[in-house]
Amino acid sequence: MSLDAHVRMTRGGLELDVTLAAPDGGVVAVLGPNGSGKTSLLHALAGLVRLGSGHVRVDGTTWADERHHLDPSSRAVGLLAADHLLLPHLTARQNVAFGPRSRGTSRREATARADRELDALGLLDLGPRRPAQLSHGQGQRVALARALATDPALLLLDEPLSALDPALRPQVRAGLAARLRDFRGTTVLVTHDPLDALTLADHLVFVEAGRVVQEGTPTEVVERPRDAYVAHVVGLNLHAGRADDGDGVETAIGTVVSAGHAHRGPSWVAFAPSAVALYADPPRGSTRNTWPVHVTAVELVGRTARVRLAVDGAPEDVAPLIAEVTAASVAALRLQPGTALWAGVKATEVSAYPA
């Protein structure tokens, strides 16, 4: 049950032009900032809105193109939104059985199918409960079971974990991952959470302003981001530049030296926030990349802090450096907006690759 889609449409002021492809059993995660077109993409795949042009084909069957549009009820599609929308007057078991029943399955068979789906998600004992008796996390898993009980060729998940309490997300994410591993259809997951994308999907698609800016496997994207938003999501510092002879790449923040690269021409350099060391005075020793900087923001999370740094003399539109340091370093260096420092990154911590 493969997905082949080219979605082109206009919604408000957004021109959406996105291509998606996935094999049987594949999970594609679509990420992007608010307003980038992610939910509009899901609605087009589900048939809730018409294409302007392009096509949606699933398992070789055309669901939509310029002249043809199947209604949602005629598509083998399951849609799970952040708000699970369970029918309040039905039990969890009855909610899951509702889909098979509406397609003509006998009550006995539909109930048996509902129990299998609930059992797969660790919810069999909650079958007799009504939605008001379920936690939000339990209700979300029941909604997933309901979507899967109809054997959709295409499963669409719109921010399925975003409304959950942070303490519940790991449990629900683990249950979702286990069930998706056994799902024979294709899944498209829209999320803002990089952890959801990296742990649930085998292919990532990043969308900005209605266009794909990067796609690839999680490993490919993490190792070689090619867009500022992508770098932010995966937690890396990223700068564009040009590699010439030698081991340096000329960027807007100066020459960034890597441990060595074989290419020349347009390039990216990337390094982790944890690789950025902060100093009160110009560093000495083996650190080959150093910059005078000043702090623009400090965010403390437990015993670590993410520090945003503006490079002195760099253009205003250049992405800041992000450093990850200990809480002890925040205190020792008295880090606060405006604090002048030096930042350093060892060449061995820098990845340089063709743009």
Q: Where are the domains of the chain?
A: 3-226, 235-354
Name the amino acid, one letter, at 247.
D
List of residues 6+ apart from 244 with CB closer than 8 A: 250, 264
Residue 310 bridge partners (DSSP): 294
Provide the CATH topology of domain 235-354. Answer: OB fold (Dihydrolipoamide Acetyltransferase, E2P) (2.40.50)
CA–CA dist 64, 4 (Å, integer): 11
CA distance 227 to 21: 21
Cα(304)–Cα(299) distance, rounded to whole angstroms?
9
Determine which helix (DSSP H) or strand (DSSP E) holds 4, and give its type and residue range.
strand 3-11
CATH architecture of 3-226: 3-Layer(aba) Sandwich (3.40)
Q: In DSSP terms, which residues pair with 57 in a beta bridge?
A: 4, 62
Ramachandran angles phi, psi of 154, nearest 5°: -130, 120
Greatest distance between any 2 Cα atoms in the chain: 77
Identical fold between 3-226 and 235-354: no
Structural element, H or E, at residue 54: strand 53-58
pLDDT tens for the chain, residues 1 to 355: 589 999 999 988 899 999 999 988 899 999 998 889 999 999 999 999 999 999 999 999 999 998 899 999 899 999 888 777 899 999 999 999 998 998 889 999 999 999 999 998 888 999 999 999 998 888 888 998 998 898 899 999 998 887 777 777 777 788 888 888 888 899 999 988 887 888 889 999 999 999 999 999 988 888 888 888 888 888 889 998 999 877 889 999 999 998 877 788 888 899 999 999 999 999 888 899 999 999 999 998 888 899 999 999 999 888 899 999 999 999 999 999 999 999 999 999 998 888 7
Q: What is the DSSP string of 244-259?
A: -SSSEEEETTEEEE-S
SS3 (DSSP) at 338: coil
- pTM of this prediction? 0.79
